[in-house]
Structure 1
């Protein structure tokens, strides 16, 4: 809970303006002398004076309160509680002691004495009628946290965190993990230890590190190659689903607009490019950090203390416009953001489940981890607490989750008093109730020239076939042709790959029935635009034994229209094919009618009929054996072939 206290002044004034009733003038003067010692941080002498005084004047409530304050400063909670309790026992209705009740509520909460904690917060709310809105909000929140924490501890969830190997936890301090969708790269912030002249360990500036999964084992973490890390601090970063884009926080640079800004860098071959500030539509004149990039690359979530929010730290987002430029950032609203701190966003690969940390929603105290799902209208649902013992009365933050929603990563800090001894990265299996409603998987591979087998930089577009909505648009890597696209359970997708001078290729991923949801390794070979080159239209659909086009075919056919409009001299043959089930004459007629249905659609889209021919081949040209279900499915297809270039 201590993270909340920066908004309140909890120390009851050490001195009082007048001599309390029933207390001798000598005792009053002696107490004022002790107060001056405490203000000079001579706590030892101040304690001795007040304790000696209290032996003579044990009913001096203000002296008990002041002694409690000193012990609080010295982090001796037991002694602080002892004297705070004596103070309120002597003057239970004293408005000046309201904050003592608040402090006691915090102490008891940390001790898991929720009944006494709740009682102290209730008394604070009774006495502090003139509190500012934020202080009352904190007390009311902690009052509800008492019941929540007590109930959670009675019903703990399965939680078995495992510390990652020393190949990851090898820097000194390592925190804020982030992963690519294929879980092959982990990125995190690290700080290297060094010794001060007095022998005390301190930590160097933040830098970004990464590790690669090789045959199931993480390689030893090393700094990111390229121009990202400097002699200043670079940290709290995210990496795109395909591992090609990095957004990170840098502070105090010459081109920053605020104390800390968000920067972007792209992987060029194996080196990260010189970072660029994301600009004033994303960054503010305040502090901006904790970025998380959606898997389609079109939405950036982050935390900021800029004006216009609901609390101190709020979660904001910026979206790309139709030209790929970032739009002015907007607040996520008060379903997510509270009067206190909401930060550390991590958007799941499905782009519909947001994980974040907050000390403003009902929880276990301190920063707790929460998640919220986006409903069909795009609104965020009421956040859900992870529960105990994932969340505790300490601070839980810096959470990341795999695309399949099964594994979470987080950082654990160990302190020695006010000093940080270590921060390490752990992983754990998420219980079912903490997983995203919609898990994700991916397809990845490389794009090549079909003849030369050289890698190609090509355009890739992913569409939801039910709606015709474009989900993702990206380019394969210009060096090795690699790409990765995230796919969500429950959807049917069409993936299209194209490049000038080549025929486009299409692929279908149908995850609507949830029967199979494995990642797909898919290398794409593009055919040069030449006579007799042909392509299967994998997203053209017909009902069984019918030739009327299904609505889901529209996306692919519009791609074909676009191709023909761009290549105006090209003439094509549209061909229909079937498997060998049924009578040959029926299959031949069905295949021809299906080819004609595609032909008719193209004509309605103003494609000159003289550039089109159609034909049905029945089962005469199989591409696989008809002995298997999979083979027959591949043989039932619609193709187009270049007749004239």
Structure 2
């Protein structure tokens, strides 16, 4: 072979190395670019967008430590525990110290999947590693362990009911929640929460009230309950008075709180903020007026409660106003949040959601009956109504054969979905 041949072969080899090096540099730039975009989306809580960019990083570097950790956290926030666990386990196996919270994250993923024993193992491991001064973390983990204990007990004796997702006509890839039935049970109001991007490119969300008609046993495609020009911007539905002429909403803007809109022959009036005894706390998100119009139950974090949101009751005065509010007491309220009251006057039963009592995780739906002036100890409605996710906004039909509620349990169409309970 000639000298020229060897020189040509060497040149080809050099060019190949250069191409490989250039390709590697290009790949590294793409990884860094996607990682930067992912971190920006993660910091602004745009988890779907963050997952998109973290996934592009993982396509090129499947064992990237930070990307696996962060995409796992994103999936956990979106209540997709199977995908979360896949990435969190990979990150943990690669580096057991990848995050100070990795054991808790793994425990939370297992808990959401109903793997209560495995979840407890991770929570106990984290608990044993804490110092004596980390009191808050200890209380949090002890609460998680109690939830897992409740999950085991409740799962062993499921309630004789069936649960059905209302489907794609009602539920979306986003959040759909607070089902409220109008008189007659043939129109369903509920709140939707959708992402928006403003003209200046800022990311945000907007709440709107949707309505669906029940025809031949099927809920139809929803429409805006109040058309533009008469809409309640950023209001979410809370409840409707028994006669159907008073709509209660929650506004989360500057003048946040509970509002009421009156229906007249000309349509719905502008919402007015409720006065005393309502809206005396920093957060008051739910309210229910009984069918006889005599009592109002509502949630509030006002001073003097047991902790978090508590449930209160007031009664209608002869002149038309409301009495002072009375806390429903320790049979109902706990150191955690109680919310979303619904009262069945015929059976003297209060349904509500709580993060306390024997919840198996997040909000569970409970019931309590009043005898005389005493509420019975809250009773968990059990599995499959409740889950380790947030189960809330219980609403019973007039004939008590069905109920609706919201949940962000895995397997839904979006962040929160509306479900139907067939009671037996």
TM-score by length of 1: 0.47
1:339-376 CA-to-partner distances (Å, cap 9, x unmatched) read 232222222243721222222232332222222222x2
Counterpart of 1:129 (choices 129, 132, 153) is: 132
Contact 2:349–2:368 (CA<8 Å) still a contact in 1?
yes
| Aligned-pair CA distance for 1:400 | 0.7
Counterpart of 2:327 (choices 328, 331, 340) is: 331
Counterpart of 1:381 (choices 373, 376, 379) is: 376
1:303 corresponds to 2:306 = no
Counterpart of 2:367 (choices 336, 348, 371) is: 371
Question: Partners of 1:203 and 1:71 in 2: how far apart?
Answer: 21
- In the TM superposition, what are the counterparts of 1:123-522 in structure 2 within 5 Å? 123-126=125-128, 127-132=130-135, 135-164=137-166, 174-180=176-182, 182-190=184-192, 205-211=206-212, 221-224=222-225, 229-230=230-231, 232-252=233-253, 256=255, 260-269=256-265, 271-284=267-280, 286-350=282-346, 352-374=348-370, 376-413=371-408, 421=414, 424-431=417-424
| Aligned-pair CA distance for 1:172 | 8.1
Question: Partners of 2:122 and 2:301 in 1: how far apart?
Answer: 31
Structure 2: stretches of 5+ with no match in the other structure: 1-34, 43-53, 76-83
User: Secondary structure of 1:109's partner?
Assistant: helix
| Aligned-pair CA distance for 1:204 | 6.7
1:239-288 CA-to-partner distances (Å, cap 9, x unmatched) read 122223222112326xx3xxx21112233247223332211421135222
| Aligned-pair CA distance for 1:72 | 5.1
Give the structure with the larger helix fraction.
2
| CA spacing shift, 1:362–1:262, aligned 2, 3 Å | same
| CA spacing shift, 1:67–1:299, aligned 2, 3 Å | same
Q: Give the match for residue 515 of structure 1.
A: none
| CA spacing shift, 1:128–1:316, aligned 2, 3 Å | farther
Contact 1:289–1:304 (CA<8 Å) still a contact in 2?
yes
Question: Partners of 1:190 and 1:389 in 2: how far apart?
Answer: 24
| CA spacing shift, 1:112–1:70, aligned 2, 3 Å | same
1:485-521 CA-to-partner distances (Å, cap 9, x unmatched) read xxxxxxxxxxxxxxxxxxxxxxxxxxxxxxxxxxxxx
Contact 1:226–1:272 (CA<8 Å) still a contact in 2?
no
| RMSD of aligned Cα (Å) | 4.5
User: Secondary structure of 1:161's partner?
Assistant: strand
- In the TM superposition, what are the counterparts of 1:563-574 in structure 2 within 5 Å? none
Contact 2:257–2:284 (CA<8 Å) still a contact in 1?
yes
Question: Partners of 1:227 and 1:248 in 2: how far apart?
Answer: 17
Question: Partners of 2:252 and 2:89 in 1: how far apart?
Answer: 40
Contact 2:388–2:409 (CA<8 Å) still a contact in 1?
no
| Aligned-pair CA distance for 1:389 | 2.0
| Aligned-pair CA distance for 1:407 | 0.6
| CA spacing shift, 1:168–1:73, aligned 2, 3 Å | closer
User: Secondary structure of 1:289's partner?
Assistant: coil
| More divergent stretch after superposition (105-114 vs 185-194) | 185-194
Contact 1:301–1:315 (CA<8 Å) still a contact in 2?
yes
Contact 1:265–1:274 (CA<8 Å) still a contact in 2?
yes
1:549-583 CA-to-partner distances (Å, cap 9, x unmatched) read xxxxxxxxxxxxxxxxxxxxxxxxxxxxxxxxxxx
Question: Partners of 2:297 and 2:281 in 1: how far apart?
Answer: 17
User: Secondary structure of 2:375's partner?
Assistant: coil
Contact 1:241–1:349 (CA<8 Å) still a contact in 2?
no
Contact 1:227–1:273 (CA<8 Å) still a contact in 2?
no
1:89-118 CA-to-partner distances (Å, cap 9, x unmatched) read x9xxxxx96x65544432332343322322
Question: Partners of 1:377 and 1:163 in 2: how far apart?
Answer: 37
Contact 2:308–2:337 (CA<8 Å) still a contact in 1?
yes
| Aligned-pair CA distance for 1:238 | 0.6
| CA spacing shift, 1:104–1:223, aligned 2, 3 Å | closer
| CA spacing shift, 1:352–1:125, aligned 2, 3 Å | farther
Q: Which has the larger radius of gyration?
A: 1
1:599-628 CA-to-partner distances (Å, cap 9, x unmatched) read xxxxxxxxxxxxxxxxxxxxxxxxxxxxxx
User: Secondary structure of 1:205's partner?
Assistant: strand
Q: Give the match for residue 538 of structure 1.
A: none
Contact 1:227–1:272 (CA<8 Å) still a contact in 2?
no
Q: Give the match for residue 470 of structure 1.
A: none
| CA spacing shift, 1:149–1:415, aligned 2, 3 Å | closer
